Amino acid sequence: MPEPILQVQQLKTYFYLTEGIVPAVEEVRFDLSRGETLGLVGESGSGKSVTALSILRLVPDPPGKIVGGRILFEGKNLLDLSEKEMRKIRGNRISMIFQEPMTSLNPVLTIGEQIAEGIVLHEKVGKKEAMNQSIEMLRKVEIPAPERRIREYPHQLSGGMRQRVMIAMALALRPAILIADEPTTALDVTIQRQILDLIRKLQEEIGMAVLLITHNLGIIAETAQRVVVMKEGRVVETADVFSLFEKPQHPYTQQLLAAVPRLGETKRWTKKRGSRSQSSVGNQQGATP
Ligand SMILES: Nc1ncnc2c1ncn2[C@@H]1O[C@H](COP(=O)(O)OP(=O)(O)O)[C@@H](O)[C@H]1O
Ligand SMILES: [Mg+2]
């Protein structure tokens, strides 16, 4: 059994509000193995995004604070690192993509400038070389005419294209871990499918692990090997994807699965994973309570 690349242990992240303390993440623990896709599911407000932000130490402080636990990346506790050391890890060894790319893309910089920025920062190459690598990256994420696109601004692209740019930025430095927080929720079903296939393809190429946050159990059934279920800031169940769909242990997981209108089909997809003929992903938008 290889040592996991990421171990989240007893993580606690609280928000200190005037109304009181919100224990957004309470003793969360899970391991992520090299190369695996781990699904993180749970209803809205269950602490999924705060868990992801905690890993990268991007929780807004104030009002948020990581108040307990350890986050071991390659055996080293990220919570012990200085901000300077953390910056070397963010976007480089551990990358993140968000649901709404418009909020993470800079509207006044061209696509090329934004991708190249990270490459210049972390790889110490010149701007021209970084631009060439950016074009290559856009090609990898299957954006047509990358030489032209590189000079465009985010608002000139469609939602799907912007999400591809986000993926290009996130993967330009071949991170060991990609955290994808509801990466396709804002997109229509066809584009969702393309983006997920793209992530999977690049994951194989780069050999990275993916922490995939979604409320869409169809996506989990098709892409994750293991699943962590969260409720009210806590992990209520961790299981491999087959066991989770066949025999959910926790009542909350059973409830989540029962809320999926086409669970029968979900089970069949689970069994037939690997055959990509079904166009099922995305049919269950909003199925969770
Ligand atoms: N910036 C913030 N300030 C105060 N509370 C927050 C903040 N971000 C998240 N929370 C609270 O933390 C809890 C978990 O939120 P979140 O992790 O975003 O849930 P989700 O599972 O939908 O991603 C929620 O109760 C939310 O209100
Ligand atoms: Mg969220």
The answer to whether residue 202 scores a pLDDT higher than 50 is yes
Averaged confidence pLDDT in the chain: 88
135 is a domain residue:
yes
CB-count exposure of residue 53 (10 Å: 0-12, 13-18, 19+): buried
47 in ligand 1 pocket by Cβ < 6 Å?
yes
- Do 228 and 256 reside in the same domain of the chain? yes
User: For residue 259, what are its two tokens?
Assistant: 């809320």
For 247, the domain range is 31-58+78-93+176-289
Q: Give me the percent of the chain exceeding a pLDDT of 90.
A: 72
24 in ligand 1 pocket by Cβ < 6 Å?
yes
261 in ligand 1 pocket by Cβ < 6 Å?
no
Domain boundary among 150, 174, 198: 174
In degrees, rounded to 5, the angle at the alpha carbon of residue 176 between the alpha carbons of residues 118 and 113 is 15
157 is a domain residue:
yes
72 is a domain residue:
no
- Do 245 and 225 reside in the same domain of the chain? yes
CA of 51 to the centre of ligand 2 (A): 9
What's the CA gap between 145 and 138, in Å, rounded?
9
What's the CA gap between 149 and 236, in Å, rounded?
44
Domain boundary among 119, 154, 174: 174
- Do 251 and 120 reside in the same domain of the chain? no
- Do 251 and 283 reside in the same domain of the chain? yes
CA of 213 to the centre of ligand 2 (A): 8
Confidence of residue 258 (pLDDT cuts 50, 70, 90): confident
CA of 106 to the centre of ligand 2 (A): 21
Spatial CB neighbours of 123, under 8 Å, sequence gap ≥ 6 = 130, 173
**Full-model pTM:** 0.89
What's the CA gap between 154 and 149, in Å, rounded?
10
CATH of the domain at 216: 3.40.50.300
64 is a domain residue:
no
35 in ligand 1 pocket by Cβ < 6 Å?
no
